[in-house]
């Protein structure tokens, strides 16, 4: 027997007791689209965190490259180091 926490209401015929992972309603036979689950929400959040982390790493790398390039220009052009 399926527990109440594992069941949903059919969005088409409003019958209760449809299994949460059912693809079709056992009462009316209509297709039931998958719902946004906790696992899906976790994956979305994890993806956002990964994108932010990669963005921060790329920006830090760009800044380091710009700083190194600026220092190289100062050395090559023999400019007073206090102005660089």
**Is the pTM of the predicted complex or chain greater than 0.85?**
no
In this model, does residue 15 exceed pLDDT 80? yes
Stretch (H or E) spanning 69: helix 38-76
Percent with pLDDT over 70 in the chain: 86
Residue spans per domain, the chain: 1-35, 38-78
| pLDDT tens column, 32-70 | 988 777 888 899 999 999 999 999 999 999 999 998 888
The residues, ordered by sequence, that sit 6+ positions from 35 with a Cβ below 8 Å of its Cβ are 8, 20
**What is the average pLDDT value for the chain, to the nearest integer?**
85
Asked whether the beta carbons of 30 and 10 are under 8 A apart, the reply is: yes
The residues, ordered by sequence, that sit 6+ positions from 13 with a Cβ below 8 Å of its Cβ are 25, 27, 28, 30
């Amino acid at each position: 027997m399926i527990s109440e926490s594992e069941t949903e209401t059919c969005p088409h015929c409003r019958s209760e007791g449809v299994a949460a992972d059912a693809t079709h309603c056992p009462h009316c036979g209509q297709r039931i689209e998958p719902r946004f689950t906790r696992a899906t929400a976790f994956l979305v959040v994890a993806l956002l965190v990964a994108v932010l982390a990669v963005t921060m790493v790329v920006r830090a790398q760009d800044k380091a490259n710009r700083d190194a390039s600026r220092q190289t220009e100062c050395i090559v052009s023999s400019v007073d180091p206090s102005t660089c």
